[in-house]
Amino acid sequence: MVFYEILVIVYLIVAVMLIGFVLIQQGKGAGMGASFGSGGSNTVFGSTGSGNFLTRTTAILATLFFVISLILGNQTADKEKAVDDWQNLEVPVVEEAVDTDVPVVPVTEQTMQSTTDADVPVTEAPKEDDVPNL
């Protein structure tokens, strides 16, 4: 489990570095300006060294990214998911009763008959004449 977590952290670091190196690279149109002497020799890696360094580093990071992706996918495929109560909705889940001070009254025919429609107040619907026109 620790190996998996370390691998995920390395994977994220490689992904961020790969994004950074891709964004740092210059496009192919920038090579024309460097070939005519517009500051190509003032770079840190020399006139042609930066392209090779960035290209190789990007290739190595991309290879690491794909290899770690395959390893993580292989590790994840072998794991079983935890069983969830919501996966099988056909079988009712019985919850344990909680001890409370409130008594539980079972519903019987007698308690059903004691509650009648007369206990519920009835409101009359407004007539069409009573409704104001907006």
Residue 65 burial (C-beta neighbours within 10 Å; 0-12, 13-18, 19+): middle
Rounded distance, CA 2 to CA 58, Å?
A: 28
In this prediction, what percent of the chain has a pLDDT beyond 70?
46
Instruction: Give residue 87's pLDDT.
Output: 72
**122 vs 41, more confident:** 122
Q: Find the mean pLDDT for residues 107-122.
A: 60
pLDDT value for 77: 85
Query: Do the beta carbons of residue 60 and residue 24 sit within 8 Å?
Result: no
Handedness of CA 50, 56, 59, 62 (dihedral sign): negative
Task: Determine the pLDDT at residue 76.
Answer: 87
pTM above 0.75, yes or no: no
Q: What's the pLDDT tens digit per position in 6-53?
A: 999 999 999 999 999 999 987 766 555 555 555 555 555 555 555 688
pLDDT at position 134: 63
